[in-house]
């Protein structure tokens, strides 16, 4: 699925801020969905308000975007608007997965303390 469609899907299509005309126009939404394919997510805060979404771009590079339902500004400014100009994906699949595993492991260890 495209990046924005996947994020909405994970929120049972209940993210008004990702609907056309709220913050993004139809061209931006189409560009994001056509150029970035999302294939999973992970959470490091063990809550349901935020997740990092895994995506690949048209060049076969991989990256993640963080979406927090309570902070649409950061999502737009740090990820979405820049992605409409150029890809932020700069990792191989292997490097991205190692980074994610390390983050999750750090979170698990911190929870035990």
Domains of the chain by residue range: 3-112
Query: pLDDT tens-digit profile of 59-106?
Result: 999 999 999 988 999 999 999 999 999 999 999 999 999 999 998 888
User: What does the pLDDT read at residue 46?
Assistant: 63
Which residue in this structure is represented by tokens 């409409």? 84
Which residue in this structure is represented by tokens 């991205």? 96
Average pLDDT over residues 2-19: 92
Contact 8, 15 (CB under 8 A): yes
Q: At what angle do helices 3-10 and 26-35 cross, to 10 degrees?
A: 90
Between 26 and 103, name the one with better pLDDT. 26
Contact 53, 41 (CB under 8 A): yes
Contact 76, 23 (CB under 8 A): yes
Query: pLDDT tens-digit profile of 29-66?
Result: 999 999 999 999 998 776 778 899 999 999 999 999 99
């Amino acid at each position: 699925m495209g990046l924005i469609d996947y994020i909405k899907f994970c929120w049972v299509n209940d993210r008004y801020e990702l609907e056309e005309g709220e913050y993004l126009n139809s061209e931006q939404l189409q560009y994001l969905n056509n150029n970035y394919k999302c294939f999973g997510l992970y959470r490091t805060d063990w809550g349901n308000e935020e997740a990092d979404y895994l995506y690949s771009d048209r060049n076969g590079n991989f990256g993640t975007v963080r979406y927090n339902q309570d902070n649409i500004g950061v999502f737009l400014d740090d990820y979405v608007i820049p992605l409409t100009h150029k890809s932020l994906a700069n990792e191989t699949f292997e490097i991205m997965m190692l980074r994610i595993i390390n983050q999750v492991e750090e979170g698990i260890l911190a929870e035990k303390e």
